Chain A
Amino acid sequence: MGERISSPRALLRGVPITIWMLCLVAVPLGYTLLISFFQVEGLQIAAKLTIKNYRQFFTDPMYSGILLKSILLSLAIAVLGILTGYPLAYMLSFRVRRGKQALFMLSIIPLWVSYLVRIIAWRTILGNKGVINSALTAIGLIQEPLSFLLYNRFAIAVTLTYICIPFVFIPVYTALEKIPRNIMEASSDLGAGEFRTFLNVVLPLSLPGLVTGFIFAFIIALGDYIIPQQLGGTQGIMFGNLIWSQFGFAFNWPFGAALSFILLAISVTILGLTSRFGSTEGGFLSE
């Protein structure tokens, strides 16, 4: 019954959602692509097709350099996210007996606390007069405030990792929970220690969740511009800022559209990897 297309009357039920999809997804993204081939003349956007924008991006090392920097930093953040989120999920899945539900909620809650609030918090912690510096000064460990904490890539990494941890946690936890416990018992029964069991059984079976978490973290980090802007200082310009500025001071919308589209292409490609190698369950929409 599955291969046959439903009746026209049934297909009609899809009209509202299709209209929504066209208006808010297909047309905007398509139009952005179109604009990326326009150019700026004076204060106007001229509708003359050109690949100038893309050429500018690929030839000018400043722009492509920023993209590369952003990708590398985002990869690092994704790795950090895995290093914090995965053990947490592992602990909750295999070590906790009672109160699992409560601890799960505890792991999810930061996700729903306002994004801006979390940024403000980290600015406060890392600043010159912030929590860390004040505490260290008060104890007497340092005389001058540590300036390397804020307004650089370190701050961006810490804060973005903080944001990403729940996004890594959820798919990993879901994947770990799906591993039948008797497989673990069988493994230890066959003589494998805890670590070997992890390496040979748990890790491979949880890989789809891990990949999903990694990719979510990567995309969030790559597309973010507020954190680099608030915490990155002068050396913390990421690709997101670059795009953003085209729509602000630089007023080069076609160029900004081209950059956006490049980001879109990267995101979609990587997301495509999720469905291939990762798991689509444990996405933050199903919990």
Chain B
Amino acid sequence: MSRARKRGFGLKAYGFFVYFFLYFPLLIVLVFSFSPTKTIVGISGITLKWYQELFRDQNLLAAFVHTLLIGAGAVGIAIVLGMAGAFFVSRVTFPGKSVFRTLVLLPYILPGILMGISILVVVKALNIPLSPFTVLLGHVSFTVPVVMFQIMSRIARMGPNYQAAAMDLGATPVQTFWYVTLPMIRTALIGAALLAFTVSFDEIVISYFLTGTWMTLPVYIYGMMRYGLSPKVYAISAIILVLSLALIMLMSRYTGRSAEVYRVRLRKD
């Protein structure tokens, strides 16, 4: 019995080591954002200096806003296209469906450098200047698969063909969508939107290829990394860390199986 305990302990110890490995770097970033010096040895106290510098950096603040705008835009488009695409692939039969699905999924799973370059060469060939529009285009390439596949997963779990039942009972396609389909995929849609937004918020590679002078936050930070490491970077990193955590907490309420349980508890009408 004690041998099993020991073996179990070994694995658990390794597990906790991995968790430590995962979180130590994040902790470092947090610590350094409050430290006046760049070395950990001489922790000479806590300072908010870097955060203050952060908020005085107009370019950085602008980049942050740009990122939010791109995120909102890319997610908005993804919701429309992704929902339509999800129902199309789930409910309609046509030849070559698996190829089609793979093609849609491709921008999300291929290395960003491939998608970034591919869209860049097309944009250049069409003489479109690099602008917020091209960045948006790049983001739409991967937000759509995210939303579409999340919705498809929800549709697969949906069960009976409620749409057919609604139409049979007298609902026009628009009414069916509004009163039956949308409420049923609402949580999956929100979760997918949050997921897509998170991916878009952090995206660097594709954005870098398609950006002109109008930068998103990751592009700006990347610039900071290449041309001088001011501790401002830690401050903005810490903020992004906290934001990401908040987003993922929010997301967990809307995606996955746990979300269903949560929703049922809320229902009261």
Contacts and interface: CB of A to CB of B under 8 A. Distances in A.
A and B touch in the complex (CB under 8 A): yes
A165 B22 contact: yes
Contacts of B222: 116, 226
Nearest to B15: A91
Interface stretch (A53-61, A128-136, A146-154, A203-211): A128-136
B255 A256 contact: no
Contact of A28 (B18, B119, B202): B119
Given A6-B93, A10-B92, A162-B21, A31 B12 contact: no
Contact of B225 (A25, A87, A119): A119
A115 B95 contact: no
B117 A243 contact: yes
B201 to A, nearest CB: 8
Contacts of A109: 244-245, 248
Nearest to A165: B22
A3 B97 CA distance: 12
Between B28, B40, B103, B258, the greatest number of chain A beta carbons within 10 A of the residue's beta carbon is seen for: B40
A92 interface: yes
Contact of B93 (A2, A88, A92, A240): A2
Contact of A16 (B80, B89, B252): B80
Top 9 nearest A-B pairs by Cβ distance? A223-B111, A17-B85, A28-B118, A121-B25, A91-B15, A117-B237, A14-B88, A24-B141, A285-B149
Contacts of B32: 124
Interface of B: 4, 7-8, 11-12, 14-15, 18-19, 21-26, 28-29, 32, 38-41, 80-82, 84-85, 87-89, 91-95, 100, 103-115, 117-122, 125, 137, 140-141, 144-146, 148-150, 153, 198, 201-202, 204-205, 209, 218, 221-222, 225-226, 229, 233-234, 237, 240-241, 244-245, 247-248, 252, 255-256, 258
A187 interface: no
7 contacts: A11-B94, A26-B103, A107-B22, A112-B245, A114-B237, A114-B240, A194-B4
Nearest to B100: A21
Contact of A17 (B12, B22, B104): B104
Between A108, A117, A216, the greatest number of chain B beta carbons within 10 A of the residue's beta carbon is seen for: A117
Nearest to A30: B118
Given A112-B245, A123-B225, A260-B113, 6 more contacts: A17-B85, A27-B122, A87-B14, A92-B15, A125-B24, A286-B150
Contact of B244 (A13, A112, A131, A240): A112
B26 A32 contact: no
Between B8, B117, B225, B237, the greatest number of chain A beta carbons within 10 A of the residue's beta carbon is seen for: B117
Nearest to A225: B113
A83 B28 CA distance: 24
Given A110-B23, A125-B25, A134-B40, A115 B225 contact: no
Given A119-B225, A219-B111, A108 B248 contact: yes
A256 B117 CA distance: 9
A17 B14 contact: no
B81 A20 contact: yes
Nearest to A115: B202
A68 to B, nearest CB: 18
A90 B240 CA distance: 30
Contacts of A29: 106, 114, 118
B251 to A, nearest CB: 8
Nearest to A88: B18
A88 B12 CA distance: 8
Nearest to B29: A121
B11 A220 contact: no
Contact of B87 (A13, A25, A216, A267): A13
B117 A110 contact: no
Contacts of B150: 285-286
B121 A14 contact: no
Contacts of B8: 95
A112 B255 CA distance: 15
B37 to A, nearest CB: 10
Contacts of A162: 21-22, 25
A114 B244 contact: yes
Nearest to B149: A285
Given A91-B12, A134-B39, A223-B113, A124 B28 contact: yes
A112 B144 CA distance: 18
A286 B156 CA distance: 12
Given A114-B202, A122-B25, A134-B41, A257 B117 contact: yes
Interface string A77-107: 0000000110110111001000001000111
